[in-house]
Amino acid sequence: MDTRLEVVVFGATGFTGRLVAEYLQSSCAAGRPVAWGMSGRDLAKLAQVRDQVGAPSSLPLIRADASDTAALAALAAQARVVISTVGPYQLHGEPLVRACAAGGTDYVDLCGEPAWMAKMIRAQDAPARASGARIVFSCGFDSIPFDLGVLFLQEEARRRFGAPLARVRGRVRAMKGSFSGGTVASALATAAAVRRDPEAARAMADPFALTPGFRGPRQPWSGTAEYDEAAKSWTAPFMMATINTKNVHRTNALLGHPWGEDFVYDERVATGDGERGASRARKLARVDRLLGTLLGFGPTRVLLRRFALPKPGEGPDRETRERGRYAIEFIGDTAQGKRLRATVTGDRDPGYGSTSKIIAEAALCLTRDVDRRTTRGGVWTPGAAMGMTLVRRLQERAGVAFAIEK
């Protein structure tokens, strides 16, 4: 009999971790019981979070610091799946991934740091395969709506046309709400890594950095405003495309390239038609270039860390989170010119409200719904590990809708 907890939230005293804990407790209160616990370096603060979210006093609290290898190994031994919200992962994440990979414990996180992920694939895929651990990065807004959005569209294309889509465009139509402080912190850490490490710089620039041993065709990229005839909209660069596109290509590779080895994918922000849309696209493109320049400048990163990042435990209030939303359109074309469109929408702000629900349901999907005989140990993407099973779970419980456009 497996006596381990189903889910342990590592980093539950942080703002996002606390939202994940609140969501799991709300599931229990709604009659969907979960055997879960919380972990962090301060038991007193964990107890405060337990009380704040309304969890019973019997809820397990596990002390573990991100650098304490013995404590992390003990944590991994007590869980079927660990949710990690402790980033930036390139600074704090490797010991826990290593502990889970060695101990056969499933793991999900919110990582959007491709150079670190590429490193973990090289270092931890083999140990995870040996132990049976399923390691799944990027289980928040980056990259689940994009990774699963492409998968959802491709599945429908194969059903309707009997052939995959050779080219897919991801276009962010709406996004109300802020990026999380963790996303900003990861961007700062990544910018610093790129400055000092040529390998990290190459990984950021390479759309196939997460598919070792495979290189596909040249992928579309532009740092300027462009009109997209397929989307009937002006478009601008999307800051999260750097990680999302890599995960989409890794999903295709892990599944055995069902979309073809010449599959092409890109992501941009759709700003609308006409002069207003063009003006907004040009403005966003300038901001994107300026942000890239500033992140490459050390003193600017120090200032951003000091003044732009939320303080520990801080984030938008509940009303702000619940007012947020997002909508992404996916436009796909077969090699024969047939076209199909899909939308993915979320009912909360992307950085916190939706992300906290998505990662909790991804963890439950992995441990409850995905057969280990089909998804064995290794480093996975959400699309390859959980696929349409997770699509259905998110639609039923997490306020994320997937729809084919008519």
DSSP state at residue 369: I
Confidence of residue 294 (pLDDT cuts 50, 70, 90): low
406 within a domain of the structure (yes/no)? no
Question: Hey, is 117 helix, strand or coil?
Answer: helix
Q: What does pLDDT average to over the chain?
A: 93
Residues 153 and 132 in one domain: no
Greater pLDDT, 310 or 269: 269
Confidence label for 192 from pLDDT (cuts 50, 70 and 90): confident
Q: Same structural domain for residues 328 and 198?
A: yes
- The CATH number of the domain holding residue 49 is 3.40.50.720
Q: Are residues 153 and 267 in the same domain?
A: yes
Let me know whether 117 and 209 are in one domain.
no
Q: How many helices (H) and strands (E) does the chain have?
A: 16, 14
Q: Is the pLDDT of residue 293 over 80?
A: no
Domain that holds residue 322: 144-348
- Say whether both 235 and 375 belong to one domain: no
Are 18 and 151 members of one domain?
A: no
My answer on whether 357 and 344 are in the same domain is no
| Count of residues in the chain | 406
Q: How far apart are CA 156 and CA 257, in angstroms?
A: 16
Q: Which residues pair with 40 in a beta bridge?
A: 63
User: Would you say residue 387 has pLDDT above 50?
Assistant: yes
> Does 9 share its domain with 151?
no
Is 399 part of any domain? Answer: no
Number of domains present in the structure of the chain: 2
With 90 as the cut, is the pLDDT of residue 273 above it? yes
Q: In terms of pLDDT, which residue wins out, 1 or 193?
A: 193
If asked whether residues 340 and 385 sit together in one domain, one would say no
**How far apart are the C-alpha atoms of 404 and 260, rounded to whole Å?**
22
Task: Kindly state whether residue 362 falls inside one of the protein's structural domains.
Answer: yes
Q: Is residue 312 over pLDDT 70?
A: no
CA 72 to chain centre: 22
